[in-house]
Structure formats: C-alpha cells, structure tokens
Structure 1
Amino acid sequence: MAEQIAISDKILIVSDKPDGQVKQLRRSFRELGSETLFCPLADIAFDTRYPSGIDIPALEGALPAGVIVRSISGGTFEAVTRRLGILHALTHLGVPVWNSAKAIERCVDKSTTTFFLANAGIPTPQTFAVEGPDNAKTIVEREASHGPLVLKPLFGSQGRGIRLIRSIEDLPDPDDVDNVYYLQRLVVRNGPPYRDYRIFVSNGEILGMMGRCADGWITNIARGAKAESVAGPLRQKLEELALAATSAIGTDFAGIDIVQGCEGNLLVLEVNSMPAWTGLQSVVPVRISDCIARAMVELLNPDIKERPAA
C-alpha cells in the first residue's frame, strides 16, 4: 500500500523575493487565521524519497493546503521548465494553485495569450509572432504601410524592451530578441497624455481598475505612468471585457491590460498572471491582498463563505 501523503494547513506563497505584495498577502492570511510559508519556486525540489514526490523547505515532504504564485524568477529554459513542472505536479496532487502552471504558461508567452484571446472572439490588436529576421521583414514590409507595429519581448514585462517599428530598418538584430519577433499593431490613441487601463480580477470578481496615464505611448506604472481612478459608463465595458479575457485564459486572478483606440474601440493587450498591484491599490478602496486571501481561504473552507455574518 502506498504511503499516505501528509497535508499541511499552511498556505504556500511562491515568489522570487519577499516583496511588498508578499508581505501584504502574508498579513492578510494571518488576519484570517491562516498560516503562510514563503519560498522561491527555485528552492522546491522533486524528491522521490517522499510520498508526495516533492520537497518544500520546512514541510519535509508534506503538501501545502494551497499555493499563491506571486512571481517566478527568470532562468534557463531547463530551470523554468522544472519550476513550472513543480506547479503542474502540485495541481496533479490536488493542491489548489493560483495561478496554475497552465494559466501562467498561457500568460507569460504573449503570442499564446493573443491566440487564446482571438480564438475566444475577444478584441485584440492584429498580432504576428515569427522566428528569424527574414520572416520579421516579410511581416513589416506587408503591414507597415497600414500603420506602425509594436515589437515586444515575448516574455517581457513592465514595458521593458518595447520598440516602435515603422520600417524594416527599425527591426533589432535577432540576438537582441532571441530570434523571436512578436509584432502587434499599434493602437492609435488620443494624446498626450496617453492612457490605457489595468483591471484586476480575482476568482471571477472585479477587485478594481485604474487608468494609467503617461506623456509617452508606453503607459506602464514601472515606467513612470500615473494611476487614475476610472468612472462613468466605461467601467462596465472594461469589466465585461476583463472577465471574458480571464475566462478565455483560465486565470484565478489576473491583471488585464486594455487600450481604447481613437474611435472608442476597446482591445485587450495582455493578461498578466502574476500582476503587481501597488499602483492599483492607490486608487481602489479595497485591499487587494485581502480579497485574494479571502477567496483562497473560502475555497479551502467552503463553510466559511456559507456561514452567516455575526
């Protein structure tokens, strides 16, 4: 008979570092009476000495009650594959993992995100992802006459490495982009100032949204954009589109980036499976970490949700 797998009552928060958001999550879980454990995913091992087959530091082969993935550090293809394999294994063993490895894989690769959005009929800019400079030149020669393209790193974040492509001369060397060219039609917006929108969804619920306002066309908070509250009829349209995007990708919580063109059309740019919320927290009344923690605790203890308020 196979040895029984031990289950801990601790919730594991996975992150490459104990940043401010990790600290907020730990506080929120603590206030709900749940104990947490912090660990970088790189420090979790496959270990067949244990019935679970996984060794999480301080748990000695036991499994956590649930997992929140705050961030995964970069690394070689082999290292990242192994780390995602840990998340796949935890899900296989019945541990709730937010977000799942499948959802993270769909989000971290922008071309896969775009595929699932378009396949679900969700409006997103025309996008082309190819390998090699010759294929990229073919795309630019065909498409640039219809307007500029935006080149983004396939695995990039926070606005780093984004370039405007108006002609083949603007294309970087293949070594600069790992020989992969992700090209997206530039959405022409009113400005300056330029705006786009970040909507935070957790467990099928809109937790909040913000406008990101900047003098330039790149509107990431990490690049100096300012967070603004969003009011009026636009909110409902953004909410509906964000919920549809999270459903198409399969995320438990996510930050959805949406842009509005000059004609008022809304398009989904990205779905972020490991979103930060510092900027958003400055313009919404709820504590984001509280909402994520509450949703996980209620998943693990359904009777809490059903219990009437005192």
Structure 2
Amino acid sequence: MTAAPSRGPLRVAIMTDETGWHTARLKQALRERACEGRCVNLADCRIDTTWAWHGLVIPGYGRGLPDAVIVRGLASGSFEQVTLRLGILHALRELGVPVYNDARAIERSVDKGMTSFLLHLAGIPTPATWVSESVPQAQRTVMRESAAGRALVLKPLFGSQGKGLRRIGAAAGDAPVPLPALAAYRHVAYLQRFVPSRAAPGQPGFDWRVLVVGGRAVAAMRRVSQGWIHNVAQGARCEHAELAPALAALSVRAAEALGLDYAGVDLVPIGEGENPDRAMVIEVNGVAAWHGLQSVTRVDIAGLLVDDLLARKLPAARSAPARRAAVA
C-alpha cells in the first residue's frame, strides 16, 4: 500500500437518512467551492475488515474514504443500530477523516440529560433539570416543584422538533398535572423546570434559535407562537432577530460546552426592563435544521457550514497526501 497525491475535487460525504432541501443546499455550496458532495445513509455503511486496509465500507467511495463528512441526519433505530451508526462516525475520525459534527459531540447533544449536565457543569444558565429511571423519584420531584408553584416540562430523552413535550406539575389557575406513565418515554423521566413566558397576557410568546458555526454566532431568529412550545415543526412562526452580544456569547459558550462544530442553540428569555436579552439555554442541537432560520436571514448558512469545514477542519486538504488506498 502506498500513498498517492490527492487528485480531483475534495469528496465530502453528507450523512443523511433523507435527501431534500438541506442536502441540496449543502451539495450546491460544495459545488460552488469545487468540492463533490454525495449523500450517504449511515444505515448503508458497514464495518468489513476484509474489504480494505481501513475496514470500512462507505457506499459510493469504493475501497477508499471520503475526504470529509458532514452529518446532516442520524435516523432513529434500535440501540444496536444507533450504536453501529455512531461507531462508523467514530471510526472515520480515528482514520483521520474530519467529521462535522463528530460522533462524540452528537452523542452529547442528542442525549438531553447529558446536554443539561454539561451546560450546568460549564456554568451556563439553564433550567433546573432532573433525569431518572425511578418513577417514585420523578413523582417526588413533581410534587416538590408543584408545592412551590412551579411547573415542569417532561421531554423524551432523545427527541426533536417539540415532539412528546408535556407540561406537568403546577399550572396557573388549574389543578397540578401529575406525572404520566413513562412507557411512552422509554421509562426515563427527563424533567426540566418550566420557564414562564415574558409576553403580556394574550400576546404570543417566543424563544430564540441561534446558529453557532465554528465558534461564532452567525444568525438568530425568534420562534413565535401562542402556545408554550415554540418549535417551528409545531407551528411556530419564524422572525428575524438581531444577535445581541450577550445572546451570541451565551450561545457560543453552549456550543463549546458540548464540543460542537456547529449548533442550533435554543434559548428562552428571562430578562426584563433594562436587560431584555438575558436568556437561559434549554437545548443544544448538534444536527440542527436551518430551513426556518434561512427564511429570515440573508446569511448563506450552507455556505458558512462548508466554509468552516474547509477552512478549519481541512486547512491543507488539497496539498496533503491522500490517504492510503488499497491495492487490488
């Protein structure tokens, strides 16, 4: 086996279980930078130590490897399936292939409990959180918070787009809502203290989504809705938001706490009066969608992602020797 000089455009695998608007934008951004983007489903990748020296099979790359990987989607599956898919990303990193975001960072961000732990550990303002398999422990938490007049949000430990969120515990003017059966939550209670809206009565509330790329906050929007769930997938309206310095700095700290190359940081406002931009981080998304955000900003988000990958993760890709290729 010998090393050969790099030839042709940089080949970037876009890991996704579905193609559409996001992958089209990434492929276009790659083409504009003389790179080749190819969509690959992680479920179609495999480990095969007889195939090539590196032991991986990445469809579309023969016995070779892509020059870099952008993770656009990670499909749900059994514990074993998800472990294998993340293992492929881990293996690519071990082989020197830049993975954006890499498996370690994705593992931290898809696990809401670990996200909350790392935010807390970094001293980042975030709502009080309890995560447990114990139903009695979770019930005691709900009862204690309700007695103090506070509501909680029950969330799936792994989930996105506002699916499965339930407000429990104390509720203004209503009887407390008890903890439901946890079978629908895979027998894990992830409880986060509810942060009330700062909106005037009858007015829609909002939260912020800030996009962080390469350690820099690049765009923001307000997600506005009449209800307390502000996810765009649940009907929230996107509005352009100015990136206040405090909001940008907090979002960058949150992305850094999880080791993310890029992140969608969700924040709820807690400021008032002379300090309206104070916020708490509620979630950090390591495989963030940006269709809604792109609709209210002039920033070319796909271009920023690709530029960060090429400039920071592949600083000398064209001049460096290619990886070893198997000799038939």
- TM-score normalized by the length of structure 2: 0.87
Letter in 2 for 1:27: Q
Post-superposition offset of 1:298: 2.0
Which position in structure 2 is the counterpart of 1:154? 157
2:131 aligns to what SS in structure 1?
strand
Note if 1:197 corresponds to 2:208: yes
Question: 1:5 and 1:18 mapped to 2: Cα distance?
Answer: 34
Note if 1:228 corresponds to 2:229: no
Superposed CA RMSD: 1.8
1:302 aligns to what SS in structure 2?
coil
Contact 2:271 2:279 in 1 (8 A): no
Which position in structure 2 is the counterpart of 1:307? none
Question: 2:178 and 2:167 mapped to 1: Cα distance?
Answer: 8
Which position in structure 1 is the counterpart of 2:169? 166
Question: 1:173 and 1:286 mapped to 2: Cα distance?
Answer: 44
Q: For 2:293, which of 267, 274, 280 is the aligned residue? A: 280
1:261-280 per-position Cα deviation (integer Å, ceiling 9, x unaligned):
26454100011000110110
Q: How many residues get paired?
A: 300
Contact 2:14 2:71 in 1 (8 A): yes
Q: Which runs of 5+ in 1 are unaligned?
A: 305-310
Question: 2:244 and 2:54 mapped to 1: Cα distance?
Answer: 45
Q: 1:40 to 1:5 in 2, by over 3 A?
A: farther
Q: For 2:93, which of 86, 91, 94 is the aligned residue? A: 91
1:2-22 per-position Cα deviation (integer Å, ceiling 9, x unaligned):
x45888831010001112101
Note if 1:105 corresponds to 2:107: yes
By percentage of residues, which structure has more helix? 1
Question: 1:133 and 1:180 mapped to 2: Cα distance?
Answer: 8
Letter in 1 for 2:132: V
Letter in 2 for 1:42: A
Letter in 2 for 1:185: R
1:67 aligns to what SS in structure 2?
strand
Post-superposition offset of 1:293: 1.1
- TM-score normalized by the length of structure 1: 0.92
Which segment is superposed worse, 163-172 or 273-282?
A: 163-172
Note if 1:254 corresponds to 2:263: yes
Letter in 1 for 2:73: S
Instruction: Give the fraction of aligned pairs with identical amino acids, expressed as a percent.
Output: 42
Q: 1:38 to 1:149 in 2, by over 3 A?
A: same
Q: Which runs of 5+ in 2 are unaligned?
A: 171-175, 318-328
Question: 1:262 and 1:90 mapped to 2: Cα distance?
Answer: 43
Question: 1:300 and 1:239 mapped to 2: Cα distance?
Answer: 22
Contact 2:13 2:38 in 1 (8 A): yes
Contact 2:112 2:157 in 1 (8 A): yes
Output aligned runs, 1:4-153, within 5 Å: 9-49=10-50, 50-146=52-148, 147-153=150-156
Question: 2:85 and 2:314 mapped to 1: Cα distance?
Answer: 28
Contact 2:223 2:231 in 1 (8 A): yes
Which position in structure 1 is the counterpart of 2:224? 213
Which position in structure 1 is the counterpart of 2:321? none
